[in-house]
A and B are shown apart, each in its own frame.
Chain A
Amino acid sequence: MNLMANMRRESTLMLRDRAVIAWAGVIFLLAVYAVWVGMAEVKQQRESITWLLQQDTLERDAALTHQSDYGGVAYYSFHLTYDEPSNLAFAAMGLRDETAWKHRVRMLALEGQIYERDAGNPVFALIGRLDFAFLMAVVWPLALIMLLHDLKSSERVAGRYNLLVATAAQQSALWVSRALLRAGLLLVVAVLPFVTGALLSGASLLAIVLVLAMVIIYAVFWLLVCYWLASWQQPSPTILAANLGVWLLLAVVIPLAGRITIDQLVPLPSGSEILMTQREAVNDAWDLPKQDTFDAFVATHPQWQEQAKVGQGFQWDWYYAFQQVGDQKTQALSDAYRDGRLHRHALAGLVAWVAPPALLERSMQRIAQTDLKSVITYESKIREFHAQLRQFYYPLLFGDGAFDADNLQQRPNFSLTHSNDS
């Protein structure tokens, strides 16, 4: 007898099992809810960005009307940068509640601006959202445990076990098909809303397939764990407790221990260190001889050697030079902060291999581009953009040309695109 016949027979039996139907229904509703709310959130973030972009242009134009020199324009012109949610962000919101995905920067020292945190309500970040990634990584295994822990023990208690095994033409096919069907049903009801949402969101087929593959591998992992424990000749409550113990270990204990160890292992420069260094550097410059600032500036920007000349009174070129120098002085700390976070992220990636729920969530956040790497990519995009701004303004500031608003037409604009979106 082939597996298909087993499946057909068991599926009719399973569909009359109220616990299975109830859990499938619960997971389906939760998945629909998670996907629906996730999509609404993404839509909202996109609308917010669109609105901000309009306001940003208006605001810059308005700032321009008061100005009569390039220095003033640069001082009063903020530029919106943003990290648009990818088409899969609805499924794994990741760090988007904790870190800023929109920033307005201007040509002042960037280190003083880039760590501003325009994130939403901190309660959201604390409790976390019910997104598809959380549903699959944390909730789904528990639902599977509820359905599979008494796969055999319930038949034992009901006194049917021996009859079933003695009657079955293939014993293993009986249990395997029962476990597979339950896990399969639970997986299908969870994944269907996701696929629908992903298609509606215009995510790339590759990304969808990738997520599906990960989810399926993850489901198989838990299926094996549950199947293995279900064969244990113990009463259902003991098996359930053991299952919960495994879940607790993988979803809570290892991640907790991993996070603590990694945070201890990889120290980061404290935020206050970066901020204070930056501030001291920028503010001290006011009291230093202007030539000192220009010297430090020219060391990295030799092309302005001729133009960087100390004059009388306040000079915009000197002002922006010391902003630049301030950033340069903080660079080492700032790099250490970025590298430290990436190092922590990489180590957490290793730990995640022994904590599958964390692995799944992290992988989905990677694909949805809502993980730390994406945050840092966004940060470096801001840095790039800020550098472009400087490149644009320096010729105007150090040049001798009279102020001409038309020159500002060429001002760079921020743009960021996601690779995974179709």
Chain B
Amino acid sequence: MNLGLVSSVDLVFEMMDVGNMKLQADELRVARGGKEILHGLSFHVSAGEVYALLGGNGAGKSTTLLSFLGFIEPTSGAVNVNGQSVTSNLTQARSAIAYLAEAAKLYEHLDARENLTYFLQLADKQVDSNAIEAALDRVALRGDARGQRLKGYSKGMRQKVAIALAILRDTDILLLDEPTSGLDPTAIDEFHHLVRALADAGKAILMVTHDVYGACHVADKIGLLKSGNLVGEFTAEAGQSIDTELVHRAFAQKDAP
């Protein structure tokens, strides 16, 4: 049981393999509506790693995520994807990322297959129907539901289609925005298995969540975000998951005046 609380981010940079760095935020500052939301955020996600950004409402989690997608431009600092600045290489950055939005919204009047086909074409990705079926198998979407419009889907089923899309995009990087909110425990469990498997297959996964338990369960690394500051980072040793209690305590400590 070797779990370290890294106080200095600079230390982390020295330790990691730069070639594997898929996502990287460096002294990232972001302002919206004249108010600074992120105050110099630095962290990175490497290939094969699940990074959970944890924090309460308004901590700046989604802002961080959207910065990687280039929706929000940093006021200073850098956001890099595959070692290249997002700002100057927007198209490459986005094509390297599969994004799973909060409460996955797809086209309600299309069925699962049609949605997947549409979004894959949109991403300019050639995928045959067998691959689509395989992906839907992998997320365990019921066969009889695949031809039905999303209108009648439950939240969990929609999430499965969205994940299938992320899988089919076959990108090196996955950004997941509150992927488990509103799902039932079984679905969450299934989802975590899938995320783990994807990371093990070499993908870099950045997950934004306020679900402490889930984050600890699946992540290799956890960043604690509070009011736009990264107040702490935890890493798990190989084969071990992070101790929930510890994160809770760390959170509480930082919260205490």
Contacts and interface: CB of A to CB of B under 8 A. Distances in A.
Do A and B share a complex?
A: yes
Interface of A: 1, 5, 9, 12-13, 16-17, 158-160, 162-170, 174
Nearest to A17: B109
Contact of A165 (B71, B103, B106, B109): B71
B69 A9 contact: no
B91 A170 contact: yes
Nearest to A13: B118
B251 interface: no
B89 interface: no
Contacts of B167: none
Interface in B90-114: 91, 94-95, 97-99, 101-110
B169 A167 contact: yes
Can you list the 3 inter-chain pairs with the closest CB atoms, starting with the nearest? A159-B105, A169-B124, A166-B99
A163 B121 contact: no
Given A13-B107, A169-B91, A162 B101 contact: yes
Contact of B122 (A17, A158, A169): A169
6 contacts: A5-B124, A9-B121, A159-B101, A164-B122, A166-B71, A169-B124
Main secondary structure of the interface of A (DSSP, over half): helix
Nearest to B68: A166
Contact of A169 (B95, B97, B99): B95
B81 to A, nearest CB: 12
Residue of A1, A17, A159, A163 ringed by the most chain B CB atoms within 10 A:
A163
B71 A5 contact: no
A263 B106 CA distance: 56
Interface in B122-158: 122-124
B119 interface: yes
Given A9-B118, A159-B101, A167 B123 contact: yes
B91 A16 contact: no
B123 A162 contact: no
B188 interface: no
Given A16-B109, A158-B108, 10 more contacts: A9-B118, A12-B118, A16-B110, A159-B103, A162-B99, A164-B122, A165-B94, A166-B97, A167-B123, A168-B122
Contacts of A174: 122
Contacts of A169: 91, 95, 122-124
Nearest to A160: B105
A233 to B, nearest CB: 12
Contacts of A159: 101-103, 105
A169 B123 CA distance: 5
Contacts of B107: 13, 160
A160 B106 contact: yes
A163 B177 CA distance: 11
B66 interface: yes
Contacts of A158: 105, 108
Interface in B74-95: 91, 94-95
Contacts of B110: 13, 16
A167 B119 contact: yes
Residue of B91, B98, B107 ringed by the most chain A CB atoms within 10 A:
B107
B94 A166 contact: yes
Contacts of B123: 167-169
Residue of A16, A160, A167, A168 ringed by the most chain B CB atoms within 10 A:
A167
A152 to B, nearest CB: 13
A13 B169 CA distance: 20
Nearest to B65: A162
A13 B104 CA distance: 19
B70 to A, nearest CB: 8
Nearest to A155: B105
Contacts of B121: 5, 9
Contacts of B165: 167
B95 A163 contact: no
B105 to A, nearest CB: 4
Nearest to B100: A163
A221 B109 CA distance: 31
B254 to A, nearest CB: 30
Contact of A162 (B71, B108, B118, B122): B71
Contacts of A5: 121, 124
B99 A163 contact: yes
A17 B110 CA distance: 10
Contacts of B94: 165-168
B122 A167 contact: yes
A159 to B, nearest CB: 4
Given A1-B124, A13-B118, A162 B69 contact: yes
A355 B103 CA distance: 45
Contacts of A168: 94, 122-123
Contacts of B71: 162, 165-166
Contacts of B122: 9, 164, 167-169, 174
A222 to B, nearest CB: 26
A263 B50 CA distance: 74
Nearest to A165: B71
A167 B99 contact: yes
B118 to A, nearest CB: 6
Nearest to B105: A159
Interface in B188-247: none
